Structure 1
Amino acid sequence: MTIDTTIAYGSHRDQVADLYLPAMNDPAPLVFVLHGGFWRAAIDRTHARPEAQAFAALGYVVASIEYRRVGNGGGWPGTFDDAAQALDVLPTLIEDARPGRIDQDRIAYVGHSAGGHLALWAALRHYLPTGASWRTETAPRVAGVVALAPAANLVDAYHRSNGEGAVAELLGGGPDELPERYAATDPALLGSADIPVVVVHGDKDQRLPIEMAREYCAKSGAELVELPDTGHFELIDPASAAWPFVVAALRRCLD
C-alpha cells in the first residue's frame, strides 16, 4: 500500500503527515501514527511506514505524522507545538483533501516509544497546567490511545538515562532544573484519561523498561498488555508475534 498524499499542517518541511487510505470508500476510523526515535532527528516517519500500511490494510484511514525533533528545530517547545497542531488541524485538512473518507467520531492516537509519549500527552492536554500553551479547555476529540512501549514517565526516563540522555535533550535539562517543563509534558504527572488507553509493552524491552509501563498503568488506570519474550521494535512489526495484540488493542479503542 502506497501513500495516497502528504498533507502539510504547517510551513516547516517536517510539519507534514503521510495519508494512507483503505480500499473501501466508506467513512473509516482515523488512526494517527506518531513514530519513535527518542525525539531525535535521526529517525523520521519512514520508521513507521510498515505499521501505517498495515493499519490501512485493515480498513483504517491512517495519518503518519512527522514533527520537528531534536536536531532539526524540535525539542522544547517545537516538538510539542507540532504534535498539538497536527492532531488539532489534520482531521479537518484530511476531510478537505479526501471528503467523506474519515469518521470524525472515531479517531485514535497510536504512538511507539517517543511517539507513545506524545500520544499519551496529547490525549491529556486538557489537564495541562494553567498557562501551558498547549492546554485545551475540553478533552481532545480522540476515542482512544494505543501506546506501544511508551516513554510514559519522563522523570523516570531522565533518571534512568533512557536513550542516553534523550529526555534531557528533549526538555533542555532535568526535572530539578526545569520542573515546569516536566509538569507540562510528562504523562505520568497529568493524571488519568477518561477514554480507553492501552499500553502494550514487551517484558524484554532494553530501551524502555517494562517497569515504567507497569507503574504508569497502575497509577493512571490505563490497560497494560504485557507481552512475554518481546523487545522494543516487535510492536511496530506487522510480521511479528506481537502485532495481533497491537491490532486488538486498537480495535478495543475504536470498534
Structure 2
Amino acid sequence: MLCCVCADRLPYGDDPAQFVDVYRGDGGGSVVLLHGGFWRARVGLDHIAPVAADLHGRGHTVVNVEYRRVGQAPFPATLDDVEAALRLVEEGPAVVVGHSAGGHLAAWVASRVPVAGVVSLAGVLTLADAAREGIGEGAATDFVGGPPDELPDRYALADPVAHLPLGVPLRAVHARADDRVPFDTSVRYVEAARAAGDDAALVEVPGDHFTVADPTHASWPTVLGAIAEASGQG
C-alpha cells in the first residue's frame, strides 16, 4: 500500500480540500486519479487510494486529487478545483482516470486542460440525464444546484457531453450490473462522442459499480488495458 511518506502533498489553493498527493514513478507515464462519491463531502481521495497504489507499483507517476465537494463550497468550485489540480501536473499530458462522479470530472476536465486520454470507471458522463433520472438520490441536482430546466447554463458548463469532441481517446469502463450509475449512461456518452468524431469506446466488464475501481477484482486487467489504450500505448 502507499503511505503518506511516499507522497508529495501539493496544495493548489487555501482550502484544506485543495491538494494533490503525487507519487513519483520510474517512467511508467503519468496518471491523474479523480475519486467518486457523487460529489459529496463524505467521500475523499482515500476512496481511490488502492488504485493509486496499484498504478504506482507499476511505475506510473500518480496524482491523486482532492477537491471541494457539495457542502464545502458552492458550484462551480468542484470544477474549478479539478481544472486547477490538473494544471499542476508537470510531466506531460496525463491519462485522467475517474470513478463515478470522478468519471464525470475526468471527461469534463479533458475539455479544459491538455490530457493524453480519459478512462471513466462507471462515470456519470451525461450529467443532465443523471439529474432527470435522480441518480444517486438527486446527487447531480445537489451538485449543480438545481435541475436542468431551471439552470440550463450551469448544465451547459458542467455536462461532459456538451463539450464534445474531446480530441483524445476515451474509454468508458462499466459493468452492466451497476446499480448506482446505469450502464446506459456510458452507452449514451460513447455514442455521442463517436458521433462527434472522438476515439471513444465502451468497455463492458463483470462486477458492479465499485469493482471497476478495485485492483483485486477480476476485471482489473481490463481496466489496465483501457488505461494503456487511453495513453496511446495499447
TM-score category (smaller protein): over 0.9
SS of the aligned residue for 2:94 comes to strand
The equivalent of 2:15 in structure 1 is 12
In structure 2, distance between residues paired with 1:150 and 1:213: 7
In structure 2, distance between residues paired with 1:187 and 1:141: 15
Deviation per CA, 1:4-61: give whole Å up to 9, x if none.
2211111111110111223x3xx44111100000000000000010011111111100
Counterpart contact for 2:28–2:58, Cα < 8 Å? no
Deviation, structure 1 residue 190? 1.8
Deviation per CA, 1:47-96: give whole Å up to 9, x if none.
010011111111100010000000212x51111110111112x124xxxx
1:227 paired with 2:226, answer: no
Deviation per CA, 1:122-144: give whole Å up to 9, x if none.
1113xxxxxxxxxxxxxx32111
User: Which structure 2 segments of 5+ residues have no match?
Assistant: 195-199
Q: Matched residues, percent identical? A: 41
1:240 paired with 2:217, answer: yes
Counterpart contact for 2:9–2:19, Cα < 8 Å? yes
Deviation, structure 1 residue 246? 0.8
In structure 1, distance between residues paired with 2:217 and 2:45: 20
Q: Which runs of 4+ in 1 moved over 3 A?
A: none
What is the aligned length? 224
In structure 1, distance between residues paired with 2:10 and 2:22: 7
The equivalent of 1:44 in structure 2 is 44
Deviation, structure 1 residue 169? 0.6
User: Which structure 1 segments of 5+ residues have no match?
Assistant: 93-101, 126-139
SS of the aligned residue for 1:18 comes to strand
Amino acid at match of 2:220: W
Amino acid at match of 1:236: A
Counterpart contact for 2:82–2:109, Cα < 8 Å? yes
Q: Select which of 91, 94, 98 maps to 2:89.
A: 91
Amino acid at match of 2:94: I
SS of the aligned residue for 1:164 comes to helix
Deviation, structure 1 residue 109? 0.5
In structure 2, distance between residues paired with 1:195 and 1:155: 23
The equivalent of 1:160 in structure 2 is 133
Amino acid at match of 1:108: V
RMSD: 1.2
SS of the aligned residue for 1:150 comes to coil
In structure 1, distance between residues paired with 2:122 and 2:174: 5
Amino acid at match of 2:212: L
Where do 1:12-161 residues align within 5 Å?
12-22=15-25, 24=26, 27-73=27-73, 75-88=74-87, 90-92=88-90, 102=91, 104=92, 106-125=93-112, 140-161=113-134
Q: Select which of 196, 216, 224 maps to 2:189.
A: 216
Amino acid at match of 2:228: R
Deviation, structure 1 residue 170? 0.5
Amino acid at match of 1:185: A
1:253 paired with 2:230, answer: yes
SS of the aligned residue for 2:29 comes to strand
In structure 2, distance between residues paired with 1:60 and 1:8: 21
In structure 1, distance between residues paired with 2:182 and 2:101: 13
Counterpart contact for 2:123–2:181, Cα < 8 Å? yes
Amino acid at match of 2:193: S
Give me the TM-score of the superposition, normalised by structure 2.
0.92
